[in-house]
Homo-oligomer: A and B are copies of this chain.
Amino acid sequence: MSAGPPVTAGPSEVRLRPREDADLPARFARSAAVRDTGAGLTTGRFHDWLDERRRAGRFSVTPIPFDQLDGWSFAPDTGNLRHRSGRFFTVEGLHVTVDSGPYRDWQQPIIVQPEVGILGILAKEFDGVLHFLMQAKMEPGNPNLLQLSPTVQATRSNYTRVHQGAEVKYLEYFTDRSRARVLVDVLQSEHGSWFFHKANRNMIVETDQPVPLDDDFCWLTLGQLGELLRLDNVVNMDSRTVLACAPAGHPGHDGLLTDTELLSWFTAERSRHDVTSRLVPLGGIRDWIRGPSSIDHVRNWYFRVMAVAVQAGNREVPAWTQPLFQPIGTGVVALVLRRFAGVPHVLVHARVEGGFLDTVELGPTVQLTPAHHEHLRGPDRPAFLDLALRPDPTAIRYDAVHAEEGGRFHHAQSRYLIVEAGPEQAPTRPPAGFAWVTPAQLNLLVRHGRYVNVQARTLLSILNTRAAELL
């Protein structure tokens, strides 16, 4: 990957190619239409296979006190929690000030992991239909331990240097362009409330070479993934964010806003907020208390920092200990939907999160923990909260519980909803900070980094895979 980009021919016989692959959206749409029987498992058989992988894996995760962490300790000077190798990640303090909302100045623990990882899905056509190579993978923070993950989840330590574990399977398809061509490759942010400036490469690459199939892997169509996304806690966050970046071919020549108006609105939102966020020593942050087994907020809100011991049979490293963030309470992440002139639009919110690199990104209409926001009244009460908390059952177009990244977060579950609304509930001219966009416009934005936050990308993956059918 360190050489320049590939070219197809030598200087004397350079051939140009069309800049856009015009067939690609239709190929993704064709794969999304195949919902039951792919070239690999039927969607029905999939669950037996996943159970079998669970039995083969012999996993266990046990909470432990911090002093039983192996190689991890709190630095004497800063109180930051770090590994003696300097690798993996650190837990530090963050001080954030913002210029609006009910909470304007706070300190909190935050995960710092500057390395960019790869979240990559390998694609291949079988019988003319794109299939995606998915992995049954244990992550210690998943509520059910084993979920469906991308082909590859690799940190840069994994993919550029010798490390102590086994090799990352199928990594060569993402690093060697002679084996696969790139369909998607974009640097996307992760959770701005828990990570400081974190981003990962979201990749989909396509090969036409034979691919040996490992025990923990299976080929599924986009439609099969959509069926699985209708279930709670099957498709992990890393898979969802990659699928969100797929050129899914949503119809959408027209919109309530032109693309230029949408970009201009976003630029104004990013410009109008005064946000400062800087790292501070974890030892000194206010309102947080470090005990032997956890670091907790004084009101027991938000999340706790805890530690686990992990046993796993099918990971690169068979046993380890690590810190995890454990959110307090289940979140609600909802996208409000309306049809204008028959065209579905979703209501996105320009959100400030303290760990974002650049002030705001587009989030879902509602993204919060009800326990910490339900009591708020007046202008502090989040917009559209009641639509998300008490939706009319006939208006629910999607409803499932998903967990966030199980390698860093312990049982970080949210109820993901898509709720259709009328003009009286969700006005055509939305409040400040909100905009109506088409799924096709989200596809345009998500081709670039730091526009669409990770929770909104989960909801976009639901649209891309037709887990929710809007048309």
Question: For residue A441, which residues in chain B have a CB less than 8 angstroms away from its CB?
Answer: 19
Besides A18-B254, A19-B441, A21-B258, 18 more A-B contacts (Cβ < 8 Å) are: A1-B272, A4-B430, A4-B434, A4-B435, A5-B435, A19-B253, A19-B257, A19-B438, A20-B259, A114-B274, A116-B271, A185-B260, A186-B263, A186-B267, A203-B264, A267-B449, A357-B358, A448-B448
B183 touches A265 (CB 8 A): no
A447 touches B4 (CB 8 A): no
B21 touches A429 (CB 8 A): no
Interface string of A234-266 (1 = CB under 8 A from B): 000000000000000000111111111111110
A268 touches B1 (CB 8 A): yes
Complex formed: what's the CA distance from A271 to B188 in Å? 11
Question: For residue A265, which residues in chain B have a CB less than 8 angstroms away from its CB?
Answer: 4-5
Complex formed: what's the CA distance from A157 to B272 in Å? 11
A15 in contact (CB, < 8 A):
yes
- Our pick among B201, B341, B428, B440 for the contact of A10 (Cβ within 8 Å) is B428
B268 touches A11 (CB 8 A): no
8 A Cβ contacts from A179-229 to B: 182-187, 201, 203
- Our pick among B11, B182, B201 for the contact of A423 (Cβ within 8 Å) is B11
Complex formed: what's the CA distance from A2 to B432 in Å? 6
Give, as a whole number of angstroms, the nearest-CB distance from A425 to chain B.
Answer: 11
If A4-B429, A5-B435, A448-B448 touch, does A268 touch B19 (CB 8 Å cutoff)? no
A162 in contact (CB, < 8 A):
no
Complex formed: what's the CA distance from A257 to B203 in Å? 18
A255 touches B182 (CB 8 A): no
A270 in contact (CB, < 8 A):
yes
- Our pick among B12, B156, B428, B447 for the contact of A7 (Cβ within 8 Å) is B428
A182 touches B261 (CB 8 A): yes
Give, as a whole number of angstroms, the nearest-CB distance from A439 to chain B.
Answer: 12
- Our pick among B4, B15, B433 for the contact of A341 (Cβ within 8 Å) is B15
A5 touches B262 (CB 8 A): yes
Complex formed: what's the CA distance from A272 to B12 in Å? 31
- Size bracket of the A interface: 35 or more
Complex formed: what's the CA distance from A5 to B432 in Å? 8
A431 in contact (CB, < 8 A):
yes
A185 touches B264 (CB 8 A): yes
A16 touches B255 (CB 8 A): yes
Give, as a whole number of angstroms, the nearest-CB distance from A445 to chain B.
Answer: 9
- Our pick among B16, B116, B260, B263 for the contact of A254 (Cβ within 8 Å) is B16
A343 in contact (CB, < 8 A):
yes
Complex formed: what's the CA distance from A258 to B423 in Å? 42
Complex formed: what's the CA distance from A186 to B263 in Å? 7
Question: For residue A432, which residues in chain B have a CB less than 8 angstroms away from its CB?
Answer: 2-4
Complex formed: what's the CA distance from A264 to B182 in Å? 7
If A156-B271, A341-B14, A357-B358 touch, does A185 touch B262 (CB 8 Å cutoff)? no
